[in-house]
């Protein structure tokens, strides 16, 4: 969207410096900071951080899935798994399923926030 209009308003020098400091820390323009604040949107740098977090979380679950596949390969090779190992593995798998479901609910909320 092309920016072609201006809004002028007065604030104290200290307030302006405070805002500029925030912008510098977050690598934003003053316009972006004010617009996001007024429109109650997520800032671009926060959006990037959230997406990086989501990617990191996804990588964690990929590693877990890889470990599950390795366990399955070992069990298939041995053609045996003790009952206690099976119970332990099933419990951990159940916990992972719950965590993944919870993670997906959180991601859904995050994506809804992005849509604003």
Q: pLDDT tens-digit profile of 49-78? A: 888 888 888 888 888 888 888 888 888 888
Other residues' Cβ atoms within 10 Å of the Cβ of residue 28: 19
Ranges of the chain whose pLDDT falls below 70? 1, 116
Prediction pTM value = 0.53
Extents of the domains making up the chain: 11-41, 44-114
Name residues whose C-beta falls within 8 Å of residue 36's C-beta, 6 or more positions apart in sequence.
42, 43, 44
Q: Where are the alpha helices (DSSP H) in the chain?
A: 13-26, 30-38, 44-78, 83-114
User: What is the DSSP code (8-state) at residue 80?
Assistant: -
Identify the pLDDT of residue 50.
83
Closest CA to 59 of 115, 95, 103, 89: 103
pLDDT of residue 116: 65
Dist CA 30 CA 71 (whole Å): 53
Q: What is the pLDDT of residue 104?
A: 86
């Amino acid at each position: 969207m092309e920016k072609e209009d201006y809004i002028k308003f007065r604030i104290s020098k200290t307030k302006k410096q405070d805002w500029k400091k925030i912008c510098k820390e977050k690598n934003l323009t003053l316009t972006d900071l004010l617009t996001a604040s007024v429109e109650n949107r997520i800032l671009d740098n926060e959006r990037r951080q959230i997406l990086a977090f989501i990617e990191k979380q996804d990588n964690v679950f990929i590693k877990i899935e890889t470990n599950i596949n390795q366990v399955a390969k070992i069990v298939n090779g041995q053609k045996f798994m003790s009952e206690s190992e099976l119970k332990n593995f099933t419990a951990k798998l159940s916990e992972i399923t719950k965590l993944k479901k919870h993670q997906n609910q959180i991601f859904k909320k995050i994506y809804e926030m992005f849509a604003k």
